[in-house]
Structure 1
Amino acid sequence: MSIIVGAVILTRPTTSLGVLAILIGVGLILSGILELAGGGEPDDGERMPRWRLVTAILWIAAGVFVLVFPGLTVRTVAAVVAVALLVNGALSLLAAFRRGATWDARASAALLGVAGIVFGLLALLWPDITLLVVAVVFGARLIIVGLLLTWHALRGTAPERRPAAEPRGVRRWARTIAAVVAVLLAVGAASLSATLRGGSPVVDEFYAAPRDVPDEPGRLVRAEPFERGVPDDAVGWRILYTTTDHAGDPAVASGLVVVPAEGEDFPVIDWTHGTTGFAEPCAPSLAEEPFESGALFLLPDILDNGWALVATDYLGLGTPGPHPYLIGRPSAHAALDARRAASELEEAKLGEQTVVWGHSQGGGAALWTGALADAYAPELDLAGVAALAPASNLTGLIENLPNVTGGSIFEAFVIAAYTGIYPDVTYREYVRPGAEVTVRQMAERCLAEPSSFVSVLDVLGLSRDPDIRAADPTTGPFGERLEENTPPPTISAPLLLGQGAADQLVVRPAQDAYVEDLCAAGQQVDYRVYEGRDHVPLVEPDSPLVPELIEWTAARFAGDPVEPGCVTSER
């Protein structure tokens, strides 16, 4: 039983955590029984030591607790493991000062204590990885102990219990060597952890709203010069401005404004960026590469054409959340209000004309921006909307995520946003209990920060059982909310929709279905499909879309007419 249960836990760790009451609980009870049966290390003397009896009782009690309170255990197992490591480390440190111990025994106890404390702190810092490691290590332990007992049973022997001779030579130093190795591993893990966390963006005071924020949306709250990623022949600012959240209440958002160094009355590209993450530090204006992190590779092209850039961070990125990831109205409000507020930045010398560009998440936001512009910001001169590989057909997108490498990371962002904004969408209904901690932790990491490496480890840990879902998110309240956030066919400005034929994330069949619905509703759309282009390569500088996008945008600023109705072309 020990071997079988251990093998199931080891090979399907996320599943084992999801059914913790059966696998981990039974495994803990088995560990106690094996301890009583002599499955641990040989001990001095003929009688079972009292500490072994106590350990066996604790194993069994822990297993019963897990079976009785499975939900609580899933949420707290990382913390329990961390506390256990910290307590064990502290006790080991105290043992280093016990009377009568040799100095090598003291050294090994102290080193093991330090290692235990470090690993305990790391378990608190990275609870999603802790859950996977605990499952794997515990499963391996059950297998090893089971194999040892099976071996002794087949031989007709039992582990010997005899007085141990004083260890000599290498045997005497084996424990100390092991302790040194443990400390080295702990130091290495701590250094890696510090590196991963040290590279994360930090939200500074600029993003904090003052007390006297205007209630009116689209007002500039503050601005300051911004140089990171801005070309030498341009001038940039980061801005804080007022907008409207999902409930219609006043809120603040941040963004960037970049203009050519010479000239005035610049036409504006209102950029809605692709996915950068869900948490506050994931704002492009905080990133090391503020433009490329959201897939804007064409800033030099924008400036070379004498245009200006206004780029919202959206709500909840930089400013307090929750970030409305793939939620249409507040994303559109943030884009329209960024454009309004940028007009108050006199140094930027912006003109009146605006064309919206957006990619992926931002492509969906661009569609929503065009759909709401007439009603929400009728004073803006919106000359066109370019949606590139847009997250438009949200049901089709979510259905495809389990087929995408790393799709669970994007799904974590969607779940975090929809559960944070809509009370009728809950983790309990849509996420497997064993995957909930992992999903929550993945949602807190930005794609451009070093700690996203841990999310990659999460994805690898989920690879044997990648479905994090307890229920189909395209059904029930979640499905209804996804339908609500599909961009409507109410865009009065000319619309260009670009799609990569080889896109693995926003797949062409889902995009085709969305365009068919637009056409059926009478929406004008120029739908262009680019052969061989995947999701991000569609908007990279060498893409055939780029010169066509520039040409199309120049025509919109020039006021050239567009062909009415729906036009689909293969490029």
Structure 2
Amino acid sequence: MPVTRRSLPRRWNALPALVRDAPPRVLLVVGAVVVVLGALIVSRPLTSLVLLGVYVGASAVVMGVLELVGRPAGWWARAVSAAWILAGIAVLVWLGRSLELLPPVLAVLLVIGGLASIGRAVSRGTASSRVLSLAWGVAQVAFGLLSFTWPDVTVLVLAVVFGVRTIVFGVGIFARGVVGIRRPRSTPFDAERAVRRRRVRAGWAAAGRYALSLVLVATAAGGWWLNDWLDDGAPVVDAFYDPPAQVPSGHGRLIRSDAYLGRLPENGDVTRILYTTRDAVGRAAVSSALVIVPKDPPSGPRPVIVWNHGTTGVAQGCAPSLRDASATKWSIPALEQALTAGWVVVASDFSGQGAPGVYPYLIGEGEARSSLDAVLAAGELRADLTLSPDTVVWGHSQGGHAALWTTAIAPEYAPGIDVLGTAVVAPVADPPALARELLSGPPNAMLSVITSWVLVPYSRTYPDVALDDYIAEGSRSIVLEMTQRCPSEPGVVVSVLAALGVSEDRPLYSADLTEGALGRRLAENTITQPLGTPMLVAWGADDEVIPPRLQRDYVDRLCAEGQPVRWATYAGYDHLRPILPKSRFLPVLFDWTKDLIERRSQVTDGCGLR
């Protein structure tokens, strides 16, 4: 579509007014510079934040000033011009102090630009120009409002969009310069032919404006539909998880219980509970859990299986008890066998998931206290159900880390619980070693997301871990927003896109995560002492999340320390496969647990098999 003065959105960029009547050679230079600038913004959206801010801020101020000192305008145009000036000044003044202001200001500029376009649509121009101005204005307002919904990608998306628009505008300026240099003197015949060409071009331009208007309206509608779809897929934390003003004193006390809203196992009934606990640094907290009881439990005290779930994200809405299948065999290994045997399964969400608070991701004492207190609270659930002190702790991945810490602190924190043994599948046994292993490879989007899940909870738990010491300038909103989405919800794609938008030469994380205060705190959350009770360690030989080498190193260390441990590795199994139905590991897990509970002799030490 030919680009005319009326079809260009005038207020987004000040350069049109400055170069409209410039000599051709000036147009060539300005066009080339603008194209290079746009290419930098598109190719390096994070490294170009300052450049983007200066360009947008200066353009906003200049355009607003030109409008105010130009021909007389109505109050609407003057108000919009004043808003442009104020927004541009905000960018230029605050840019040097904090890049965090740039995303909302860009969104505000979109809204202001949209209002200006709507104002032009009702004031002047041909029918096609006014329709295009209206569509362009509505689209800008729509995307400006949507930008506030996803603040972490606002700056990246708008930078790319702004960069592409800058390239197109620069190419147009450069082309005008080329035409100006090569334009021959006109004759009367040429003038008549030029008039005919202009009429034809005007017709095509009008058609193009209408078509572009439809595209803009459809794009804005699609953006709102996508936003609604992402919102519908996000988990909803209902009122059950809101703690009352007064809670029972002490830890491990039941606050309330209710029916679980998800799918039920074949052989059990499920109740969700809210209970008191302690967080990683000993402060009073509230947590939630699922208690899965056999449908027809045998008489007498029932043995307990403590299940510690793997990574589900770190946001409040990522609690397993909010998910549909968390009480089925697809989420808890050997669940149906355990229920058939008459065991009670207690699965904590950990504090900060479901109930409000700081989630203790890979923070051992916080995870373990939530697990142990869930068992204590479950003992208050039903008068006709008595829990035995006999307890076996299971865990997978992050939950393997939690399981190790649960067993380690149980004698002191919950002496009434007798942990008979601990079974862990692909555990995060050594957080610093895993961090070094993952960070040694090439950066990728999911690694950036997972890193935020570790860094943000650690910075909120430990006062000496400062978030800004480890992240790139201007990336705080991106990192924080990554922690607000769960991997099971559609919105996680926003986090992935934000991470993908980060340039390799300007990563989100600017410091070594295994050094400094964070490195020391990661080391503190490594189990270094033998647990003293039997252990079962298993992993997939093709684990794509936690390198199998780390599991072998962990078993070697346990054997060297004299810890009785039985271990198994499964060829062809990835990170999740060992705990899924029909896994070859499940009969091993069930039989090993059953022998512990029934005090049967068994081979509990496989160190000699190494």
Normalised TM-score (structure 1): 0.86
Q: CA deviation at 1:147?
A: 3.8
Q: CA deviation at 1:458?
A: 2.4
**1:342 aligned partner:** 378
Counting only pairs closer than 5 Å after superposition, residues 354-503 of structure 1 correspond to structure 2 as 354-402=391-439, 403=441, 406-462=446-502, 464=504, 467-503=507-543
Distance 1:483 1:59 in 2: 51
**1:540 aligned partner:** 580
For each residue in 1:431-467, what CA deviation from the matched residue of structure 2 results, as whole angstroms up to 9, or x when unmatched?
A: 1124332211111001112211212322432475684
Q: CA deviation at 1:555?
A: 1.4
Change (3 A) 1:102 1:219: same
Q: Would you say 1:228 and 2:288 are equivalent positions? A: no
**2:114 aligned partner:** 89
Distance 1:275 1:293 in 2: 17
Residue of 546, 557, 571 corresponding to 2:597: 557
Change (3 A) 1:381 1:509: same
Which amino acid counterpart does residue 456 of structure 1 have in structure 2?
V
Q: CA deviation at 1:472?
A: 0.4
CA contact (8 A) 2:530 2:562 kept: no
Q: Would you say 1:139 and 2:176 are equivalent positions? A: no
Residue of 253, 278, 289 corresponding to 1:244: 278
Residue of 147, 153, 157 corresponding to 1:129: 153
Which amino acid counterpart does residue 438 of structure 2 have in structure 1?
L
Which amino acid counterpart does residue 387 of structure 1 have in structure 2?
V
Distance 1:124 1:188 in 2: 17
Percent identity (aligned)? 39
**1:180 aligned partner:** 214
Q: CA deviation at 1:28?
A: 5.0
The alignment partner of 1:324 has SS state of: coil
Residue of 277, 292, 310 corresponding to 2:313: 277
Distance 1:303 1:185 in 2: 52
CA contact (8 A) 1:218 1:337 kept: yes
Change (3 A) 1:62 1:242: closer
CA contact (8 A) 1:27 1:142 kept: no
Counting only pairs closer than 5 Å after superposition, residues 23-422 of structure 1 correspond to structure 2 as 23-24=51-52, 69-70=94-95, 72=97, 74-98=99-123, 104-153=128-177, 157=181, 168-264=202-298, 265-291=301-327, 295-346=331-382, 347-402=384-439, 403=441, 406-422=446-462
Change (3 A) 1:88 1:488: same
For each residue in 1:124-165, what CA deviation from the matched residue of structure 2 results, as whole angstroms up to 9, or x when unmatched?
A: 1011221211222233234334444445556663999x9987
Q: CA deviation at 1:247?
A: 2.3
Which amino acid counterpart does residue 235 of structure 1 have in structure 2?
D
Q: CA deviation at 1:565?
A: 5.8
The alignment partner of 2:181 has SS state of: coil
Change (3 A) 1:103 1:155: closer
The answer to which of 462-471 and 500-509 deviates more is 462-471
The answer to which of 293-302 and 135-144 deviates more is 293-302
Which amino acid counterpart does residue 275 of structure 1 have in structure 2?
T
Change (3 A) 1:465 1:530: farther
Distance 1:387 1:407 in 2: 23
Distance 2:373 2:234 in 1: 28
Q: CA deviation at 1:324?
A: 0.9
Change (3 A) 1:338 1:117: same
The alignment partner of 2:607 has SS state of: strand
**2:39 aligned partner:** 7
Q: CA deviation at 1:257?
A: 0.7
Distance 1:355 1:434 in 2: 46
Change (3 A) 1:147 1:88: closer
Change (3 A) 1:256 1:463: farther
CA contact (8 A) 2:100 2:475 kept: no
Change (3 A) 1:478 1:366: same
Q: CA deviation at 1:386?
A: 0.8
CA contact (8 A) 1:275 1:294 kept: no
Distance 1:50 1:511 in 2: 75
Alignment size in residue pairs: 551
The alignment partner of 2:438 has SS state of: helix
Q: CA deviation at 1:252?
A: 1.2
**2:17 aligned partner:** none
Residue of 514, 522, 534 corresponding to 2:554: 514
The alignment partner of 1:137 has SS state of: helix
Which amino acid counterpart does residue 446 of structure 1 have in structure 2?
C
Distance 2:239 2:84 in 1: 49
CA contact (8 A) 1:28 1:63 kept: yes
The answer to which of 412-421 and 4-13 deviates more is 4-13
Change (3 A) 1:87 1:96: same
Q: Would you say 1:567 and 2:607 are equivalent positions? A: yes
Change (3 A) 1:569 1:159: farther
Q: CA deviation at 1:242?
A: 1.1
Change (3 A) 1:168 1:392: same
CA contact (8 A) 2:472 2:506 kept: no
Change (3 A) 1:262 1:371: same
CA contact (8 A) 2:436 2:514 kept: yes
Q: CA deviation at 1:311?
A: 0.4
Distance 2:155 2:330 in 1: 31
For each residue in 1:235-265, what CA deviation from the matched residue of structure 2 results, as whole angstroms up to 9, or x when unmatched?
A: 1100011111122122211000111211234
For each residue in 1:104-137, what CA deviation from the matched residue of structure 2 results, as whole angstroms up to 9, or x when unmatched?
A: 5444333333222211111110112212112222
Normalised TM-score (structure 2): 0.81
The alignment partner of 1:546 has SS state of: helix
CA contact (8 A) 2:91 2:102 kept: no
CA contact (8 A) 1:406 1:456 kept: yes
Change (3 A) 1:305 1:173: same
CA contact (8 A) 2:61 2:88 kept: no
Distance 2:481 2:134 in 1: 33
For each residue in 1:256-291, what CA deviation from the matched residue of structure 2 results, as whole angstroms up to 9, or x when unmatched?
A: 011121123432211111111111111111123334
CA contact (8 A) 1:226 1:236 kept: yes
Q: CA deviation at 1:201?
A: 1.5
Which amino acid counterpart does residue 116 of structure 1 have in structure 2?
Q
Change (3 A) 1:62 1:280: closer
Q: CA deviation at 1:74?
A: 2.2
Change (3 A) 1:212 1:134: closer
CA contact (8 A) 2:423 2:537 kept: yes
